[in-house]
Amino acid sequence: MKHYNTVEVPVEEFASNLNLQIVYGGRGKVPVNSRNVTRPGLQLSGYFEHFDHNRIQVIGMAEHEYCATMSDQKKGKMFYELFSRNVPCLIVARSLEITQTVINEAKKFECPIFLSPNVTTHVVNDIYAYLTRLLAPETRRHGVLMDVSGVGVLIEGHAGIGKSELALELINRGHRLVADDCVIIRLVNDVLVGTSPERIRNYMEIRGLGIINVQTMWGPGSVRQEKTIDIVVELEKWDQEKKYDRIGDESLTENILGVDMFKLLIPVSPGRNIPTIIETAARKYRLKQNGYDAATELLEKVMK
C-alpha cells in the first residue's frame, strides 16, 4: 500500500471539487495520503483484518441495502468500529438515505460525511482521479509554460533573457499561455503536467510595461489552466566561443521529478527570430513523435 505525505483538504473545498453535499462537516478537514478508495462491505460485517484506515470510505447500493437489514443497535456498533479507526471521511453514493444512527456515530470521532448524486462507480473513479492529482509529486520552476500548437513548451533561462516577451509574441500569434514566472509541475501518472499558481494565473509581467491580464486582453482562447510538458527550451545569450547544435542530432535532456525531458538550448542574439524558432521546434517535435526526423533523413541521403 503506497502512502503519500498527508494533505488536509478543507471540507468545503473537498465537497466543491467532487460535487458533493456536506451532511456533517466533522473536523472541518479531510486528511488524505492514499489514492485508493474502500467500499467497506467486509468491515460492516465486522472484519477489519488488513483494513487500510487511510482510505476514503464509499457506501454504495450493496452496502446500503446490507445496513438496512441491521437493527439500529448493530448498525451503530458497526459504524462505531469503522469511524473509531479515524478514516478520512465517508461518502454515500446515489443520494441514498443516511440514518441518524450513522451520523451520531460519526460525530463521536468528528468524521465528515458527504452525499453524492452519482452512481457508486462514478464516485470512486472521480475520487481516484482527484486524489491522483492532489497527491502527485510536485516541484516549482522559474520560467514560462506555453501551449504551442498543442505542444507543451517550458521556457527557461536567466532573468532578463526575454522569456515573458517571447511568450507575449507567441500569444499574439495565437498560442496559449499556461503560466508565467512560476510554473507548478506535477508528476501525474508518469506524465509531467504544468500549471500556474492560482493567484497569478493569466497574469504576465513585462518589463517597461508592467502587469497585464492575458485573458482579458486576448480572450479566453489565449490561456489554458494546465498542459502536459513535452519540451524544455533553455534560452541563453549567444556565446561566440561555444559550439551549438547545427544538425539536430544531439539529444539533450533535463530531469524533472525523475522524468528525462527532451531539451533544446537556443542561443539568443539580436536579429534571431526566437518565436519562429519555438514554433518550428514544436512542429519538429510533432513530426518526430510520428517517426519523421529531418536530420536522420539527410544523413541517410548523404551516406547513399
**Catalytically annotated residues:** 142, 163, 181, 246
Q: Pairing state of beta strands 29-32 and 7-10?
A: antiparallel
Report the candidate in 87, 1, 76 with the shortest Cα–Cα distance to residue 44. 76
Cβ partners under 8 Å of residue 230, min gap 6: 151, 152, 153, 261, 262, 285
The C-alpha cell at 167 is 511568450
Neighbours of 233 (CB within 10 A): 25
- In angstroms, rounded to a whole number, what is the distance separating the alpha carbons of residues 136 and 228? 14
Contact 119, 58 (CB under 8 A): no
- In angstroms, rounded to a whole number, what is the distance separating the alpha carbons of residues 61 and 226? 36
- What is the helix (H) or strand (E) element at residue 277, kind and residue range? helix 274-289
Q: How far is CA 253 from CA 83, 159, 181, 229, 260, in A?
A: 49, 21, 22, 13, 6
Q: Provide the phi-psi class of 234: left if phi over 0, else alpha when psi is between -120 and 50, else beta.
A: beta
Q: What does the CA dihedral 265, 271, 276, 280 come to, rounded to 10 degrees?
A: -50
The C-alpha cell at 119 is 452512481
- In angstroms, rounded to a whole number, what is the distance separating the alpha carbons of residues 286 and 271? 26
